[in-house]
Every structure is written in C-alpha cells, then in structure tokens.
Amino acid sequence: MNLANKLTLLRIFLVPVFMFFLLVQMPYGEYLSVAIFILAALTDSLDGYIARNRNQVTKFGKFMDPLADKLLVTAALISLVEMGKLSAWVTFLIVAREFAITGLRVLAASENITIAASWWGKVKTITQMIAIVVLLLDNFPFSYLGFPFDSIMVGAAVVFTIISGADYLYKNRSVFMNM
C-alpha cells in the first residue's frame, strides 16, 4: 500500500476520533476535535498531491479518497446539527449532493467512464472545510469583531455545493442519456 492510500486510510480512522473529542464532554475536547479535523482535511490535499506526483494513482485511492472526504464532512455536519450550530437543511443539501454525485460516478464507472474531480468540486470542498472549522470554533476570532464569517462561509459552501453538483450533472449528462 502506497503513502497516498495510507493517508486516505488515516483520514477515515480520524473520523471517529474527531467525533469522540467533539461530542464527549472533556476539557479542551472541542479544540482537540478542531485540530484533528484540520489534520484530516489536510491529508485530503496531501494524498492527492503525493499520488499524482509519484505516479501512484490507484483504483483503491480513486474510490476511497472521495469516500473518506464524504465521511469526514458528513460526520462533522451531523455533529454540528446535533450541537445546534448548523441547520439540518444545510446538512441535508450537502449530503444529498454527495449521494447524487456518488451515484453518478457509480453509474459512469459501470460504463467504464471515470469522472474526475472538477474545479468547482474542489472549491466546494474547501469552502465546506472552512465553514466547518469556523462553526466548530464558534466563529472565533470573528465573533469578537461582530463579523458573521461563519454565516458567510456556510452560505458559500451551500452555493458551491449546488454549483458543483449542477456542473457534474450537466457535464456528464451523457451518462444518463445512455441508460
């Protein structure tokens, strides 16, 4: 197993660790959870970079990397709803988009078509990760300035989630036409 795949597995392993520190009442638990989330999010960029630069792209990585991202983001979003820091409709919208695009990828794969990550998808992921971190930190340090950075980032994440989903569906509409 190559380094990129090990980083993907590390990200999957970090999901329950992140949730444990976030949801179990303990001193500094939320701060530890934020650090773990950021570490896990950084492995997302790092594993892809390593796989491409070392020519170590694998079928395992193509399947597990997006799954690891979805597990991390979904766990964080559901936890934020549980904590009262995020509206359930935002989580539903983001998770529904992920199911739809995953279904599209599975359908395309059944026809030997690979759907690569798009620029919009990368922007969506970055805005979601930033929104999650800011929500986990209760809008720190912006809350002291009275600046609603958390609301802005959640709004941006919703917008880019919709745009990227529509972009994937439009660019890959031929997959549906062949059904």
Report the percent of the chain where pLDDT is more than 70: 99
Per-residue CA distances from 40 to 44, 100, 111, 112, 172 (Å) = 7, 24, 32, 30, 30
Per-residue pLDDT of the chain (179 residues; tens, 9 = 90+): 899 999 999 999 999 999 999 999 999 999 999 999 999 999 988 988 898 899 988 888 878 888 899 999 999 999 999 999 999 999 999 999 999 998 898 888 888 888 888 899 999 999 999 999 999 999 999 999 999 999 999 999 999 999 999 999 999 998 878 66
> What pLDDT score was predicted for residue 179?
67
Domain 3-177: assigned CATH number: 1.20.120.1760
Do 35 and 46 form a contact (C-beta atoms < 8 A)?
A: no
Q: Is 167 exposed, middle or buried (0-12, 13-18, 19+ CB in 10 A)?
A: middle
Compute the residue count for the chain: 179
Q: Residue ranges per domain, the chain?
A: 3-177
Do 8 and 33 form a contact (C-beta atoms < 8 A)?
A: no
